[in-house]
Amino acid sequence: MTGLARFERRARELLDPVHYDFFAGGAGDEVALADNEEAFGRLALLPRILRDTTGGSTAVTLLGDACEMPIFVSPTAFHRLAHPGGERATARATAAAGTVLVTGTAATTPVADVVAEAREIREDATVWFQLYLQPDPEVTAALVRRAERAGCTALVVTADSPVFGRRGRDDRNGFHDLPPGLYAENMRDLPGGADRVRPIEMSGAFTWEHLDRLRARTDLPIVVKGVLHPEDARLALRHGVDAVLVSNHGGRQLDVAPATVDALPAVAEAVRGRIPVLLDGGIRSGADAVMALALGATAVGVGRPVLWGLAAGGEKGVGEVLELLRDELVHTMALCGAASPGDLTGDLVTRRGAPR
Ligand SMILES: Cc1cc2nc3c(=O)[nH]c(=O)nc-3n(C[C@H](O)[C@H](O)[C@H](O)COP(=O)(O)O)c2cc1C
Ligand SMILES: CCCCCCC(=O)C(=O)O
């Protein structure tokens, strides 16, 4: 078994099946979940030859943060369900890989501890904070303050969850709560709640105005996560957003959403290079990353592969997953005649089986 698949297999062997299903599963019939990966299989790379690729680099700058490769760790909930090391282990491995970790509202480790752990490995480690806007603005403000004080350098606002996706596996397994002792730690001791750990609330009431308010409240760059429609990318630009993240939440929200790599070109076209376009969903190899970069992404995120690495081997497992992706990325870039991510252009991507 090659590539990342062995990490998933090991994770499946080790995890409680109910927790494996929570991580692996998607919404509804899991159409979007499957399509995210299958869409990459419908594409091929058309390599260029006789281009000097020696002395190349995979480095990119993301919202002012130096990043050794254009592959970052997307926010996923509840890392301590995958491994006792949880987000701390993920933070250490991601920092060692020199890339961005997006921790978030549903982390089972407080954001301050995640950043401290990453910075123990590397003092300039980059951690961004994924924010679920909360109906109580004081709670949202407190989460933002927590992220700022911890040293996060960007906010990633998840906008694809006005309601929680219907996850059939979790319904069948009766999995709707964390086991005793695990909490969404960033929701602890927030204003206005009698409970020490408030539940994360989804709300359909949010609009672009809420982003404007957030913009006014923080100096941190804001990434909007869950952009699929090009008109929303244009709105994001108009509302002063610093980057968009093309995402369908790993197929966990709208089950009939398009695969992210299929939605990417129209979003990139709408943005026309004015802000970075990020993408996640279905990236399972360095070649997938190369395709998305060529189609207009500045960087790509991985969700489940990191969870499989974490479950399989804690910090070491996450490190192995990120190094494997980096190695495949470098190799594929070289075979395509690309010395740096900037050399990856749309003409390198074709439909499998399509005549040129
Ligand atoms: C178990 C799990 C938990 C997730 N939790 C969050 C979350 O708390 N916030 C968020 O914005 N996205 C969350 N996501 C979505 C990821 O950020 C990302 O969009 C998705 O995993 C990318 O697809 P991939 O898993 O195919 O790489 C989660 C995804 C998974 C699989
Ligand atoms: C209301 C529960 C919040 C946890 C959200 C985790 C998440 O986004 C996911 O996809 O699962």
Q: Cα 271 to chain center, whole Å?
A: 20
pLDDT at 354: 75
Residue owning the nearest CA to atom 13 of ligand 1: 76
pLDDT at 356: 59
Active site residue 249: yes
For residue 245, count CB atoms less than 10 angstroms from its CB and return exposed for 0-12, middle for 13-18, buried for 19 or more: buried
pLDDT at 248: 99
For residue 345, count CB atoms less than 10 angstroms from its CB and return exposed for 0-12, middle for 13-18, buried for 19 or more: middle
Q: What percent of the chain has pLDDT over 70?
A: 99
For residue 332, count CB atoms less than 10 angstroms from its CB and return exposed for 0-12, middle for 13-18, buried for 19 or more: buried
Q: Cα 155 to chain center, whole Å?
A: 12
Residue 94 has pLDDT above 80, yes or no: yes
Tally of residues, the chain:
356
Residue 330 has pLDDT above 90, yes or no: yes
The two tokens of residue 322 are: 């990120």
Burial pattern 182-200, b for ≥16 Cβ within 10 A else e, equals ebbbbbeebeeeeeeebeb
For the chain, give every domain's residue range.
5-50+64-350
Question: Which ligand ends up closest to the CA of 170?
Answer: 2
Distance from Cα 250 to the centre of ligand 1, integer Å: 5
Contact 328, 321 (CB under 8 A): no
pLDDT tier for residue 189 given thresholds of 50, 70 and 90:
very high
pLDDT at 192: 83
Q: Left (φ > 0), alpha (ψ -120 to 50) or beta: where does 341 sit?
A: alpha
Distances (CA, A) of 204 to 143, 161, 163: 19, 8, 6
Cα–Cα dist 185/191, whole Å? 14
pLDDT tier for residue 193 given thresholds of 50, 70 and 90:
confident
Q: Mean pLDDT, to the nearest integer, of 309-325?
A: 98
Per the prediction, the chain carries an average pLDDT of 97
pLDDT digit string, tens, across residues 123-168: 999 999 999 999 999 999 999 999 999 999 999 999 999 999 999 9
Residue owning the nearest CA to atom 7 of ligand 2: 77
Contact 42, 352 (CB under 8 A): yes
Residue 324 has pLDDT above 70, yes or no: yes
Cα–Cα dist 83/88, whole Å? 10
Residue 355 has pLDDT above 80, yes or no: no
pLDDT digit string, tens, across residues 216-262: 999 999 999 999 999 999 999 999 999 999 999 999 999 999 999 99
pLDDT at 253: 98
Residue 184 has pLDDT above 70, yes or no: yes
Return the amino acid letter for 44: A
Distance from Cα 336 to the centre of ligand 2, integer Å: 38
pLDDT tier for residue 347 given thresholds of 50, 70 and 90:
very high
Phi, psi values for residue 157, rounded to 5° = -95, 115
Contact 332, 43 (CB under 8 A): no
Q: Which CATH number, 3.40.50.720, 3.20.20.70, 1.20.120.80, 3.40.50.10800, labels domain 5-50+64-350? A: 3.20.20.70
Cα–Cα dist 14/31, whole Å? 26
Kindly state the helix (H) or strand (E) to which residue 5 belongs, with its residue range: helix 5-14
Half-sphere exposure of 111 (CA within 13 A, CB side): 30
Residues with CB under 6 A from ligand 1: 23, 36, 74-77, 104, 106, 130, 158, 225, 247, 249-250, 252, 280-283, 302-304
Residues with CB under 6 A from ligand 2: 77, 106, 164, 200, 249, 252
pLDDT at 334: 98
Cα–Cα dist 140/186, whole Å? 11
Q: Convert 95-133 into a string of H (helix), E (strand) and C (coil).
A: HHCCCCEEEECCCCCCHHHHHHHHHHHCCCCCEEEEECC
Residue 1 has pLDDT above 90, yes or no: no
